[in-house]
Amino acid sequence: MAWFLLKEQGMEMPKPRDALFLGLMLMSLLPLSGCKPRAARGTVGTYEFTAIARGTLEKTVSSSGSLKPVAIVEVLPRMSGKVERVYGDYNDIIRKGQVLAELNTDMLKLQREQQLASVIKARANYELQLLTYQNQQQMAEKNLIAAYELRTGKTTLDIHAAELAAAEASLRVIETEINQYAFITSPIDGIVLERNINEGETVADSSSSNAASIFTLAENLEEMRIETGVGELEIASIHPGQEVRFTLEALPGRTFSGTVASKRLMPTVTDNVVAYTVIITVDNRDGALLPGMTCAVEFIEERRDTILRVPNAALRYQPSGLSAEAIADRIFNAGLQGMHEAERNTASAARAASQQAAQNPGAAGPRNSGGLPGLMMQSGPGRGRDPARQAGPGSGVSGPPMRTGRSDSTAPRTLWFINDQGKLDLILVRTGISDGSFTEVHAAQGLTDEELEGMRIILRERVG
């Protein structure tokens, strides 16, 4: 080409030595032209790899909830009056019987004096009538008065006795209000979470319709609880004593543990989603947890250690350079490797019948999975059932509580790799539990778990 251009421009044809020099110069400029040759599809450099390795997987149920004290007590006044003094304040540690506030008792003391006078008067009337009745009894023994007059005297004595008892009871009520109700005390040992009164305010007694809580007390913040909702599909896997792990946005980087105390049988329905309330007990001796904090909760249903696991992306991977039919053929052939001769013949016959039915849909029933027993065929990249597409952490599924659990272990799944000849190949595995990011795998098609361990498999294809 260079020789042709020189000739067209009327330039002298270069000598062989000059031509050699020109060719070397052009070759040296090729790397600077930016036209780098792309690696051919299917080479090792076009893939990202991972290894089948042993690790730990947990089958969990995820939800969210909020921290609450084990017991909360609302303190209401037992009498109406003006607040004279307030002794309790936010976060105060208090004991049972400790005075939290005091009400003004000036009017009560005046009422006590008035009622004391009424008691003295009632007692005097009673004592006078008692003397009168005793005289009437003596006169009746001598038949000096009629029986009716004696009976009237007895009735009058009973009336004065009742008036005296009522006056004394009223006096005790006033004294109780002065000596007890005017002092608002704590009914429990605990801590003051909220105070709703100030000195000079007027409060109404608890029997009034205008009554309101003046103190909110927590029994003990060293032990707290989490109330969370669990969906109807997951509630069967929750039981008392089950281990729970939770985190808080307010305390990033820390993980806390708890134990399921109970699950309530009364369901709650929100937007047609049925959930049940589960109570979790939490140790808070260090005081790091505060009431009202939002928690991300994980109920640990099952845990497995030292099992073979792979990233879910590896199970989803399908070669983009192969058609769906080519992938199906490779999966079928891989499945035949673990079968006996009779089983291979049966599977091959079933596959032939399936292909014939596909060419003539009216001559046979629905198309099966290519004749390989227990194998779910995938019609294209990423179209198979995958445990990572179940609801779970990192799956991108929003809504009610999520569950990461066991995948469909009855259907073999595919893992792709580069064989010793540098060509794309696959193996079939069976899957177990999944945590949304990794899935447990077991050997299929005649392999063993020991042969799988450490195997280098394709995670995804590189872009660009």
Banded pLDDT at 385 (limits 50, 70, 90): very low
**Dist. CA 185–CA 88, nearest whole Å:** 9
Cβ-defined contacts of 374-380 (< 8 Å, 24+): 374/410, 374/411, 374/412, 375/331, 375/332, 375/335, 375/411, 375/412, 375/428, 376/408, 376/411, 376/412, 377/328, 377/331, 378/318, 378/324, 378/327, 378/328, 378/331, 378/414, 379/324, 380/318, 380/324, 380/327
What number is the average pLDDT over the span 313-332?
Answer: 88
Banded pLDDT at 344 (limits 50, 70, 90): low
Backbone angles phi and psi of 426, in degrees to 5: -140, 160
**Dist. CA 288–CA 241, nearest whole Å:** 23
Assess whether pLDDT exceeds 70 at residue 99.
Answer: yes
Question: How confident is the model at residue 109, as a pLDDT?
Answer: 94
| Ramachandran assignment for 143, one of left (phi > 0), alpha (psi -120 to 50 degrees), beta (any other) | left
Banded pLDDT at 388 (limits 50, 70, 90): very low
Q: By mean pLDDT, which of 34-43, 78-87, 168-177, 348-357 is the weakest?
A: 34-43
| Domain edges within the chain | 48-57+308-355+368-461, 62-69+223-303, 74-102+183-219, 105-181
The share of the chain scoring above pLDDT 90, in percent, equals 58
**Dist. CA 246–CA 60, nearest whole Å:** 12
Give the mean pLDDT of the chain.
80
What number is the average pLDDT over the span 256-281?
Answer: 94
Question: How confident is the model at residue 208, as a pLDDT?
Answer: 85
* Of residues 349 and 235, more confidently modeled: 235
Assess whether pLDDT exceeds 80 at residue 408.
Answer: no
- Paired tokens of 463: 């872009």
Q: Does 74-102+183-219 match 62-69+223-303 at the fold level?
A: no
**Is CATH 2.40.50.100 correct for 74-102+183-219?**
yes
Question: How confident is the model at residue 350, as a pLDDT?
Answer: 63
Question: How confident is the model at residue 40, as a pLDDT?
Answer: 36
**Do residues 396 and 390 touch, judged by C-beta distance below 8 A?**
no
Domain 62-69+223-303: what homologous superfamily? Efflux pump adaptor protein, beta barrel domain (2.40.30.170)
| Ramachandran assignment for 280, one of left (phi > 0), alpha (psi -120 to 50 degrees), beta (any other) | beta
Backbone angles phi and psi of 248, in degrees to 5: -130, 140
Q: By mean pLDDT, which of 98-107, 125-134, 355-364 is the weakest?
A: 355-364
Question: How confident is the model at residue 9, as a pLDDT?
Answer: 45
Question: How confident is the model at residue 43, as a pLDDT?
Answer: 52
Banded pLDDT at 397 (limits 50, 70, 90): very low
Prediction pTM value:
0.60
Distances (CA, A) of 410 to 57, 109, 175: 19, 84, 80
Q: By mean pLDDT, which of 176-180, 209-213, 316-320, 380-384 is the weakest?
A: 380-384
Question: How confident is the model at residue 302, as a pLDDT?
Answer: 87
**Closest to 426 measured CA to CA, from 338, 348, 318:** 318
31-86 confidence digits (pLDDT tens):
433 433 333 344 556 899 999 999 999 888 999 999 999 989 999 999 999 999 99
Question: How confident is the model at residue 7, as a pLDDT?
Answer: 46
Assess whether pLDDT exceeds 60 at residue 295.
Answer: yes
Residue by residue, DSSP assigns 388-421 as: GGSS-TTS---SS-EEE-B--TTS-EEEEEE-TT
Question: How confident is the model at residue 44, as a pLDDT?
Answer: 57
Residues 6+ apart with CB under 8 A from 387: 312, 315, 406, 407, 408, 431, 434, 436, 439
What is the fold, at CATH topology level, of the domain defined by 105-181?
Helix Hairpins (1.10.287)
| Biggest distance spanned by C-alpha atoms of the chain | 175
What number is the average pLDDT over the span 308-324?
Answer: 91
Question: How confident is the model at residue 412, as a pLDDT?
Answer: 85
* Of residues 428 and 359, more confidently modeled: 428
* Of residues 338 and 60, more confidently modeled: 60
**Closest to 461 measured CA to CA, from 52, 51, 50, 46:** 46
Banded pLDDT at 168 (limits 50, 70, 90): very high
